[in-house]
């Protein structure tokens, strides 16, 4: 696999961050272009990328910040082009605004992507109104839970207004892109860690509706949450990024993190980025800067467990909440990952509104919040 990564200052002016030996842009099959939504809308990049990579599938995804091989980048677009030697790919796009039926998306992926020799699926989804839990549940259903799925939900900086995604065209609202990777020569490894600290007792969810949480035990969810937040309760919903919830669907399951998107004072409820099923168990969490950074290091190490080759690319999808919480220490999250992989692995990725990654418990994929997820990719000859 050969790789080229470019930084775009405008739609036409780009500089090379890295280009591996033997890379030929005409032979590239896949380009991943990440940038803030306002920049993607202001500077139209599709024609420039198409002229550089005439035979490639070009995927756009809006973000809350881009991860390049060198550093975190804001207000510029980062494109990463992949030239495979023996691996085949297939990409498709659906518009859930035209057909707001997640089952239709699942069937299309099953019919067009889930075919012989499929090794893994990359999903880049709009992140404004899609129910991420329903999305990944449908993907697992249609692939029989046999195929690892990775990627994330698009971001919109800290604006939370709208997100845009696109395949072989300028990105727009409502799009979900899936990319299938095929053959025995492509290899993947996955890591996912949060680094948040639990506090308070574990409590049962007694009333919820998909991603809206109404009651925990015999208490209204928002009342209980405010009680634990103390002085931070007056800063809701913004302060909720510092205090997500850990959630287990049952006591034996591994906990996953859920970010609060909105609160409803009248109904005393909270809306999350993923489902909080009735009967699940939740605990409050709080940030510890050093543990958040250590988690990125652990995710990088975990991603190497099932990868038999030295990874050529590390695709990192981290949560916008981590970026907000870490503030001016955010670069450390990337630096520790670089320390694990060394200079022979190229880094790419973005800050998201939700991360999609398998777990070490052999789950094909899970929706995560407030985590660093890392997918390492290598191709054998």
Phi, psi of 290 (to 5 degrees): -65, -40
Are the C-beta atoms of 66 and 93 separated by less than 8 Å?
no
Two structure tokens written together for 359: 């777990």
Per-residue confidence of the chain (381 residues) as pLDDT tens digits? 999 999 998 777 889 999 999 999 999 999 999 999 999 999 999 999 999 999 999 999 999 999 999 899 988 999 999 999 999 999 999 998 887 778 888 889 899 999 889 999 999 999 988 888 889 899 999 998 889 999 999 999 888 789 999 999 999 999 999 999 999 999 999 999 999 988 889 999 999 999 999 999 999 999 999 998 888 888 887 788 788 899 999 888 888 888 887 899 999 999 988 899 999 999 999 888 999 999 999 999 999 876 555 799 999 999 998 998 999 999 999 999 999 999 999 999 999 999 999 976 667 888 898 999 999 999 998
Phi-psi region of 349 (alpha: psi -120 to 50; beta: other; left: phi over 0): left
Phi-psi region of 170 (alpha: psi -120 to 50; beta: other; left: phi over 0): beta
State percent of the chain over pLDDT 90. 69
Q: What is the pTM of this model?
A: 0.91
Nearest 10 degrees: Cα torsion 254, 257, 258, 260: 150
Burial of 113: CB neighbours in 10 Å, binned 0-12, 13-18, 19+: buried
- Cis peptide leading into residue 237 (ω within 30°): yes
Helix (H) or strand (E) holding 196, with range, is: none
Could you tell me whether strands 346-352 and 256-258 are parallel, antiparallel, or unpaired per DSSP bridges?
unpaired
Half-sphere exposure of 213 (CA within 13 A, CB side): 34
Burial of 141: CB neighbours in 10 Å, binned 0-12, 13-18, 19+: middle
Two structure tokens written together for 30: 């896949």
Phi, psi of 361 (to 5 degrees): -90, 25
How many angstroms separate the CA atoms of 294 and 297, rounded?
Answer: 5
């Amino acid at each position: 696999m050969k790789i080229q990564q470019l930084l775009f200052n405008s739609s036409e002016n780009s500089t090379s961050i890295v280009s591996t030996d033997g890379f030929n842009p005409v032979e590239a099959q896949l380009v991943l272009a990440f940038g803030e939504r306002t920049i993607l809308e202001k500077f139209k990049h599709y024609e420039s990328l198409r002229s550089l990579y005439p035979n490639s599938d070009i995927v756009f995804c809006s973000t809350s910040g881009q991860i390049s091989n060198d550093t975190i980048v804001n207000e510029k677009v980062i494109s990463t082009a992949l030239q495979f030697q023996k691996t085949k790919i297939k990409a498709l796009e659906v518009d859930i605004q035209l057909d707001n039926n997640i089952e239709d998306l699942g069937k299309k992926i099953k019919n067009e992507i889930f075919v012989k020799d499929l090794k893994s699926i990359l999903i880049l989804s709009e992140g404004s109104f899609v129910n991420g839990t329903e999305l990944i549940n449908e993907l697992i259903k249609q692939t029989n839970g046999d195929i690892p799925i990775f990627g994330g939900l698009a971001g919109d900086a800290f604006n939370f207004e709208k997100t845009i995604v696109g395949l072989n065209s300028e990105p727009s609202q409502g799009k979900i892109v899936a990319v299938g990777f095929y053959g025995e020569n492509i290899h993947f490894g996955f890591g996912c860690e949060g680094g948040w600290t639990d506090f308070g007792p574990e409590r049962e969810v007694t009333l919820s509706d998909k991603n809206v949480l109404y009651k925990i035990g015999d208490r209204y969810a928002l009342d209980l949450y405010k009680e634990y937040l103390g002085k931070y309760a007056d800063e809701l919903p913004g302060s909720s990024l510092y205090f997500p919830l850990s959630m287990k669907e049952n006591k034996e399951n591994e906990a996953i993190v859920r970010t609060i998107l909105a609160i409803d004072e009248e109904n005393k409820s909270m809306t999350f980025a993923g489902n909080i099923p009735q009967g699940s168990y939740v605990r409050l969490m709080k940030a510890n800067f050093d543990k958040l950074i250590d988690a990125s290091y652990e995710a990088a190490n975990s991603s190497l467990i099932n990868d038999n080759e030295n990874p050529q690319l590390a695709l990192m999808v981290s949560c916008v909440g981590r970026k907000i919480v870490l503030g001016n220490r955010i670069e450390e999250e990337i630096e520790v990952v670089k320390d694990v992989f060394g200079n022979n692995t190229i880094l790419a990725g973005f800050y998201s509104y939700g991360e999609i990654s398998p777990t070490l418990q052999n789950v094909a994929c899970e929706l995560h919040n407030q985590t660093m997820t890392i997918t390492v990719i290598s191709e054998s000859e």
